[in-house]
Amino acid sequence: MKKADIFEFFRRLAEANPSPETELESVNDYTLLVAVVLSAQATDAGVNKATKRLFQEVTTPEQMVALGEDGLKQHIKTIGLFNAKAKNVIALSEALVRDHGSQVPADRDALEKLPGVGRKTANVVMNVAFGHETFAVDTHLFRLGNRTGLARGKTPLAVELKLEKAVPQPFRLHAHHWLILHGRYVCKARRPECWRCIVEDLCAFRPKSGAPAQSRAARPKAG
């Protein structure tokens, strides 16, 4: 995708949604970290449902450690892989208390050393909690990067590094939110809804079936 097309791609997404936010619910940096860890291979809606009561009771690493692994499992048992996730959340909470003064570190390398925290999770926390221009490549971003031609790569890291080079200002801070939301609600995995996509004419993907794409002239303006 050409630089001018990339700029226009994000300009349209920004015009349609000027202030995108994560759909994961949290009350502070610590609960954000926990929510992102829990969201692996789970929906944001499912995580929010499971953590609603949890985050009324637990908002600090110390409180999570006191709750314990078994207590945490009772809150998150509706989430996939809840046994392993409970173990990791307790372990990362202990590490925060022991090594970071109970604070979530504003450093990607330090975050990735915490149990259950990979690069994607660290990037989300760095972006949402600390305002860093990071690109958290989940299944949606990986799909969009390759499908649209925006940032093709065989691995999430390859896509992330290409986005790092390709996304221009002033869109870098919110870029991954726009892409996640676009992938979740429009550019869906099985049936991308190209007929209502505001960046369809800039995209390399051409649907083999389904409703015909609208021309830019016929497509209603965002807003």
Q: Which residues are annotated as a binding site for [4Fe-4S] cluster?
A: 187, 194, 197, 203
- Residue 186 has what DSSP assignment? T
Tell me whether the omega of the peptide bond preceding residue 170 falls within 30 degrees of 0, making it cis.
yes
Of the candidates 99, 138, 201, 221, the residue annotated as catalytic is 138
Residue 77 is a catalytic residue: no
- Compute the distance between CA of residue 131 and CA of residue 145 in angstroms, rounded to an integer: 22
Chain-centroid distance, C-alpha 179: 9
Of the candidates 120, 165, 201, 208, the residue annotated as catalytic is 120
- Compute the distance between CA of residue 91 and CA of residue 160 in angstroms, rounded to an integer: 28
Give the count of beta carbons closer than 10 Å to the beta carbon of residue 99.
Answer: 12
Give the count of beta carbons closer than 10 Å to the beta carbon of residue 141.
Answer: 24
Binding-site residue numbers are 187, 194, 197, 203
Residue 201 is a catalytic residue: no
Write out the two tokens for 138: 């989940």
Which positions are catalytic?
A: 120, 138
